[in-house]
Amino acid sequence: MKYFLTEAERKASNSTCYHEFLKGKWDEDTMAFWNEESLNIHDDFMVALGLDRLILNIVEDYNPYGETEINAGQWKRICTEAEKTGGNLLEAIRELAPWAEDNFAQNSVFTILGI
Mark 16-50 as b/e (b = at least 16 C-beta within 10 Å): eebbbbbbbebeeeeeeeebeebbbbbbebbeebb
Local confidence pLDDT in tens for the 115 residues of the chain: 999 999 999 999 999 999 999 999 998 776 778 989 999 999 999 999 999 999 999 999 999 999 999 999 999 999 999 999 999 999 999 999 999 999 999 999 999 999 9
CA dist 80 → 25, 62, 113 (Å): 23, 18, 23
d(CA 104, CA 69): 12
Structure confidence at residue 111 (pLDDT): 97
Residues in the chain: 115
> What local confidence, expressed as pLDDT, does residue 33 receive?
85
Q: Which domains does the chain show, CATH number per domain?
A: 4-113 (3.40.1760)
| Helix/strand/coil for 13 | coil
Which residues on neighbouring strands pair with residue 4, listed in sequence order?
Answer: 41
Q: Distance between CA atoms of 20 and 109, rounded to whole angstroms? A: 14
